[in-house]
Structure 1
Amino acid sequence: MTPLPSSPSSLPQASRWRRREWLQAAGALALLASPGVRSAFAAIPQARGKLVVVMLRGALDGLAAVPATGDPQWAALRASTEAAAGSAPLPLDAMFGLHPALPELHRWYGQGQLLVVHAVASPYRERSHFDAQQLLESGGQRPFELNTGWLGRALDASGQRGVALSPAMPVALRGARGASTWTPARSASPDADLMARIAQTYQNDPALSGLLEQALSQRGTLGAGVREAGMGAGTGSAGAFVGLARQAGRFLAEPGGPDVAWLDFDGWDTHTQQNGRLQRQFTALDSGLAALRESLGERWADTTVLVMTEFGRSVALNGSGGTDHGTGGVAFLAGGAVAGGRVLADWPGLASRDLLDGRDLRPTRDVRSLLAPLLQRHLGVGQAAMGRVLPGAPPAAPDLWRT
């Protein structure tokens, strides 16, 4: 074996380093070996797992989803909603329950894989859907302060990919070169009046009328199949959510698939008769999240699902059996590694003196304190980039995942 050269002078002339280069290289190696540099490299977060964000558009009533049954004011404010639901809330702890139409989420809570975050809101306080959604998706401190999204900026910084199961790119993913959209292929349904006039024209031609009847029959069968798969309505509707959530899980579970999926689910603006409407909405949300978990398969273990909404709703019901735009609401974190089985809440209370403006649940936690740790864990966004991705964000909420 040829011995290694003991100094730069023993190398052939063409391979010789100057003394200064040897000293620089030795110094660099020594620096890299120093404890301070090793700890700095260790502090850089490493991306892991998959992230799903579900945006409930229209403002979910957080007190309907997670009723504060242990609060002394609850019975006077909302007892009638429990009676209308037909069954008592599913118990979470001494203070909170879960709407009875969310049995799958309740099961996850019992497994320690669902974290409920109550009395949460963005910095916005003006109760406009349009402005509140823009602020929540952009990640700024004021509506339209930023025209790209917190998730888009994070994806761009990390070089990872995301998909929105939506016809148009949501604000949250704008600014990412690696973001795309997807919707199920569906042919447009013909206008009913047009089809009636065509049928009338063909009624005296047995051949043509027979072909038309056959075509309409086949379309009806296909439409029923699409509806059964959960994709028979608009991409943000209750009918579509289950199918879209299942497809999101398939995308993320594919080898080399995207790292992030975004889902919209609308229909949460419940100004009137909200009990029956929320029963349907919660059933679809529960079924959709169950389908997402099933299609993720083994990837569920390293996936986090964030469910959020632009703001909460008024504490008291209005005269139409609904609730009006409010402030504090609820968010959910779910996943195989989530430190769940608990409600994270600095509860402000429901007494009139404790309410914001005498009508709303007072928020005690900024939703952006949940976004920052999600980006650190799943996209590897470090502190240096976080100021650009989530400018002005509060400190990250700790202990969201099991170690």
Structure 2
Amino acid sequence: MSMITRRALIAAGAAGGLGYALLPGFSVAAAATDQRFIFIIMRGAADGLSIVAPTGDPDFAAARGGRNVDSTGGARLDPMFTLHPSLVEMGKLYQANEALFVHAVASPYRDRSHFDGQNVLETGGESPYVLKDGWLNRMLALLPVDESRALAIAPAVPMALRGPRPVETYAAGPQPRVTDDLLARVGRMYQGDAELDEVWARAQSTRALAGDLGADAGRNAIALGALAGKLLGAESGPRIAMIETGGWDTHVSQRSRLEGQLKGLDGMIAALRTGLGPAWRRTTVLVATEFGRTVAINGTGGTDHGTASVAMLLGGAVKGGRVIADWPGLKPAALYEGRDLKPTESLHGVIAGAVAGHFGLEPKRVVAGLFPGSPASATEGLARA
């Protein structure tokens, strides 16, 4: 029996996400499809009014108390909307018709609890805790078996991927608590070893899975995007994935926090695209949050929990270069409950439309499979098979 050396173990761990390459039962058989579908969740309720700012709305500046500077220098998407200036790479994707934004969008959830809102977003239910499995796991049942291999890039399998279909995981389950002091001492062991020093640095850069994307100047986010791209871009890799991100709850100092968060997300998407290589042409990435934030800025320079936000579709399979919005306006009388951006687009419909278009499935079947009991209709024309 051969021995696994320290050098082989750490190299395998870094290349495979410190656990993925060592998973029992991981198949290396080539998948039968070239289509990739990736769901990136923004936990914490991301402010869609800053991400894609309605600068063409005459009431926007007043609604934000004159504080609409977040959009200064951002890419002008159309006469109504401007992209946040931190989203430089997404702006390029938009110009290449590989990015599409759906504004004033929301799930059926209308209260403002993170836990309940995320449960509705991930299970696809009409209300919290009605469904016990996730829409992304149910999506696997709509695909041929050889095409339905999924990967959760998260500390544990997220609700959206839980269900009867098997899911591979990165950093699955509770991990032993490792102190920063121990990690620093281990790092010093590898100094001077040209191979191991580089491998250890790569491994360390992917430790923060669901943390703030702005942490470490976005380097963690970029490393995670690169890792995901390589795993999904490999001929033997999975074709479906979910990536967790956190840090979107911007009650205080939103302008600076959101700038870092969006730079991290932008870097992650760019690294994901590079890692996927030619497979990017057959990829759809959905980015969504549980709900939006208030229109008005609060007394600490942040925003509070709201309702409608923005969803993003990115990738070579996306019919991009558009903002889809039945814009409700920002006059006080037009706000939901007098405080929030009013929802006019169904997030369930957007997800169903993206899945149906991307995999060439019948839209009504997708709605029924992903969102049982939902009155939503699939938004068509979002992606191509």
Question: Which of 184, 190, 206 matches 1:231?
Answer: 206
Return the alpha-carbon distance in structure 2 between the equivalents of residues 281 and 356 of structure 1.
Answer: 26
Letter of the structure 1 residue corresponding to residue 48 of structure 2: G
Return the alpha-carbon distance in structure 1 between the equivalents of residues 58 and 354 of structure 2.
Answer: 34
Letter of the structure 1 residue corresponding to residue 78 of structure 2: D
Structure with higher helix content: 1
2:137 corresponds to 1:149 = no
Moved more, 93-102 or 47-56: 47-56
1:364-401 CA distance string (max 9 Å, x none):
01101111123324456544464243113311111113
Determine if contact 1:56/1:308 at 8 Å carries over to the other structure.
Answer: yes
Shift of 1:187: 7.9
Number of the residue aligned with 1:398 = 380
Question: Per the alignment, do residues 152 and 247 of structure 1 end up closer, same or farther by CA in structure 2, a change over 3 Å counting?
Answer: same
Q: Which TM-score applies when normalising by structure 1?
A: 0.77
Return the alpha-carbon distance in structure 1 between the equivalents of residues 307 and 191 of structure 2.
Answer: 43
Return the alpha-carbon distance in structure 2 between the equivalents of residues 280 and 226 of structure 1.
Answer: 22
1:205-225 CA distance string (max 9 Å, x none):
xxxxxxxx9767347996996
Letter of the structure 2 residue corresponding to residue 182 of structure 1: Y
2:49 corresponds to 1:63 = yes
Number of the residue aligned with 1:312 = 292
Letter of the structure 2 residue corresponding to residue 233 of structure 1: A
Determine if contact 2:34/2:279 at 8 Å carries over to the other structure.
Answer: no
Number of the residue aligned with 1:111 = 96
1:85-113 CA distance string (max 9 Å, x none):
49433211111101110000011111111
Moved more, 108-117 or 387-396: 387-396
Number of the residue aligned with 2:152 = 164
Shift of 1:232: 4.4
2:312 corresponds to 1:345 = no
SS in 1 for 2:53: coil
Number of the residue aligned with 2:188 = 217
Question: Per the alignment, do residues 378 and 400 of structure 1 end up closer, same or farther by CA in structure 2, a change over 3 Å counting?
Answer: closer
1:145-204 CA distance string (max 9 Å, x none):
101001111213433111010111111011142312113999854365xx8xxxxxxxxx
1:293-319 CA distance string (max 9 Å, x none):
000100111100100000000000000
Number of the residue aligned with 2:40 = 54
Question: Per the alignment, do residues 374 and 190 of structure 1 end up closer, same or farther by CA in structure 2, a change over 3 Å counting?
Answer: same
5 Å matches for 1:122-271? 122-158=107-143, 159=145, 160-183=148-171, 188-190=177-179, 217-218=188-189, 226=201, 230-238=205-213, 239=215, 240-271=220-251
Determine if contact 1:134/1:144 at 8 Å carries over to the other structure.
Answer: yes
Question: Which of 321, 341, 366 matches 2:346?
Answer: 366
1:223-273 CA distance string (max 9 Å, x none):
996479742434443243322222221121111321211001100000001
Return the alpha-carbon distance in structure 2 between the equivalents of residues 138 and 94 of structure 1.
Answer: 36
Determine if contact 1:112/1:338 at 8 Å carries over to the other structure.
Answer: yes
Number of the residue aligned with 1:285 = 265
Question: Per the alignment, do residues 72 and 154 of structure 1 end up closer, same or farther by CA in structure 2, a change over 3 Å counting?
Answer: same
Question: Per the alignment, do residues 244 and 384 of structure 1 end up closer, same or farther by CA in structure 2, a change over 3 Å counting?
Answer: same
Contiguous gaps of at least 5 residues in structure 2: 1-31
Shift of 1:77: 2.5
Determine if contact 1:47/1:376 at 8 Å carries over to the other structure.
Answer: no
Number of the residue aligned with 2:21 = none
Determine if contact 1:82/1:89 at 8 Å carries over to the other structure.
Answer: no
Percent identical residues: 43
Return the alpha-carbon distance in structure 1 between the equivalents of residues 71 and 100 of structure 2.
Answer: 25
Question: Which of 73, 98, 113 matches 2:59?
Answer: 73
Return the alpha-carbon distance in structure 2 between the equivalents of residues 321 and 178 of structure 1.
Answer: 44
Number of the residue aligned with 2:24 = none
Question: Per the alignment, do residues 395 and 229 of structure 1 end up closer, same or farther by CA in structure 2, a change over 3 Å counting?
Answer: same
SS in 1 for 2:37: strand
Shift of 1:335: 1.1
Question: Per the alignment, do residues 317 and 79 of structure 1 end up closer, same or farther by CA in structure 2, a change over 3 Å counting?
Answer: closer
Letter of the structure 2 residue corresponding to residue 365 of structure 1: E
2:106 corresponds to 1:121 = yes
Determine if contact 2:37/2:283 at 8 Å carries over to the other structure.
Answer: yes
Return the alpha-carbon distance in structure 2 between the equivalents of residues 349 and 76 of structure 1.
Answer: 12
SS in 2 for 1:148: coil
Question: Per the alignment, do residues 115 and 86 of structure 1 end up closer, same or farther by CA in structure 2, a change over 3 Å counting?
Answer: closer
Determine if contact 2:250/2:257 at 8 Å carries over to the other structure.
Answer: yes
Question: Per the alignment, do residues 333 and 262 of structure 1 end up closer, same or farther by CA in structure 2, a change over 3 Å counting?
Answer: same
SS in 1 for 2:275: helix
Return the alpha-carbon distance in structure 2 between the equivalents of residues 187 and 265 of structure 1.
Answer: 21
Shift of 1:358: 0.5
Contiguous gaps of at least 5 residues in structure 1: 1-45, 196-212
Return the alpha-carbon distance in structure 2 between the equivalents of residues 80 and 218 of structure 1.
Answer: 54
Question: Per the alignment, do residues 237 and 378 of structure 1 end up closer, same or farther by CA in structure 2, a change over 3 Å counting?
Answer: same
Return the alpha-carbon distance in structure 2 between the equivalents of residues 354 and 291 of structure 1.
Answer: 39
